[in-house]
Amino acid sequence: MTFAFRTTLLALSLSAATALSGPALAQEQPGTDGAETLDTAPLSDIEVYRELNLFGEIFDRIREEYVEPPNERELIRAAIKGMLASLDPHSGYLDPLDYEDVRQDTQGTFGGLGIEVTMEEGVIKVVAPIDDSPADNAGMLANDYIVALDGDPVLGLSLDEAVERMRGEIGSSIELTVIREGETEPLTFTLDRDIIALRVVRHFVERDVGVMRLSRFSEQAYAGIEKAVRDIVDQEGDKLKGLILDLRNNPGGLVDQAVFVADAFLDQGNVLSTRGRVVAENERFDARPDDLDKLLKEIPLIVLVNGGSASASEIVAGALQDQARATVVGTRSFGKGSVQSVIGLGRGNGAMRLTTSRYYTPSGRSIQAAGIHPDIEIRQDVPEIFKGRDEILGEAALEGQIGGGTEDEATTGSSVYVPSDRSLDTQLNFALDLLNGEATDPAFPPDPNAL
């Protein structure tokens, strides 16, 4: 299973020396001379095993002499985490719970009730039930307030804690106590958990333009885009003036889904290639003709990106930009040009996420630490409260990033702000104006003397 997505890791590091205060607590130990130097040259097999013996010696000394009996399993897991975290920001160890979270996130499914929720005044507010889910079938509605779970008050729980309580084993039941406007008494719903597909694509039509917002590249990404496209075309027909693919703040996901989504708008040519140390990691992915790209061939396309568009998002934006299929609008993307493989370590042992290759756009660009630069740069009108906090440098700012890109690394920040009110969304409204012939590239304003 191969992934291309952005993740921030927090790792503990071991210091080379420990400062002790108080009277003469330090003891000189055999075998230390205080004058060791770090040799970065590759090790021979014999030297590798010598270093592993050193690790074993330290592990044994901790087990025997640490002030309290240590948890050996935690010691070993900490060493594994430190080893992987030392490689680059995207390699790391996933314990069994983290591994399951990643699997659910990339599969786009989980055992749950099928409601999108938020926290409001200490209780859970239903944003919307997911179509044909247990919550939808039971009659739950948007703006319902969940005040108790199995009789236990929600007040005092965080949103994450409440969501975790509502998720669970498929087929198991939970009782929700709900307050609904217009009802004098609380309502009670007993729901059986089922497989829930996360809704990763939302779409709407405005001014005869179809807008598709893709939030992540899970296994549901291409299916969601295909459904959105067909719904928009069926609704608009010949009135359709163009499409907008909104990838802003999309952190990435599965490489194959990025290829499928790009292929939806292309009928030929390269989408991306990957190159690593191992021959098996060197792959080329090309677009192929299908019914969807025939349907969309003559329809103009704009892709929206910003500083939070990473990895799989950049694969799609880069492919459509290099193939001149889409106009990329917004601000520079995050700049994650590497691919991670998630390798299971056996039952109960979690998994390791390992950076195994860099990827390249059709023109041969590696955007590692550089990002995708939009064809038309449009900045948001950022409210005063967010100014100075709405920009990130991206991959270029991550300690230990692998470098090796073909473009200049980013040195300035890129905005991640997107207003929830569409009327205030400068980037989206510019794209709508452009597809309606009411805007031009601000870098090339029309000549006032032109006829």
Tell me the three state secondary structure of residue 389: coil
The Cα 377–Cα 395 span in angstroms is 20
354 Cα distance to chain centroid: 16
- Residue 336 among the catalytic residues: yes
Of the residues 246, 263, 336, 366, only one is catalytic, namely 336
| Best CA proximity match to 327, nearest among 204, 169, 440, 190 | 440
Of the residues 91, 311, 333, 341, which is catalytic?
311
| One-character DSSP codes across 352-370 | EEEEEEEEE-TTS---TTT
Q: How many residues does the chain have?
A: 451
- 322 carries an active-site annotation: yes
State the first-to-last Cα distance of the chain, in angstroms, to the nearest integer. Answer: 57
Is 311 designated active site? yes
Residue in this structure with the two tokens 């207003």, named with its chain if needed: 419
Backbone angles phi, psi at 328, to 5 degrees: -90, 125
- Out of 322, 333, 357, 366, the active site residue is 322
> Measuring CA to CA, which residue among 366, 292, 370 is closest to residue 322?
366
Joined together, the tokens standing for residue 120 give: 């409001």
269 Ramachandran zone, left/alpha/beta (phi>0; psi -120 to 50): left
Is beta strand 301-305 parallel, antiparallel or unpaired with respect to 327-330? parallel
Q: How far apart are CA 4 and CA 247, in angstroms?
A: 15
Helix (H) or strand (E) holding 48: helix 45-65
174: CB partners within 8 A, 6+ apart: 113, 149, 150, 165, 166, 168, 190, 191, 193
Query: How far is residue 150's CA from residue 193's CA, in Å, rounded to a whole number?
Result: 14
Q: Contact, 255 vs 273, CB < 8 A?
A: no
Whole-angstrom CA distances from 45 to 37, 51, 146 are 20, 10, 60
What is the set of active-site residues? Answer: 311, 322, 336
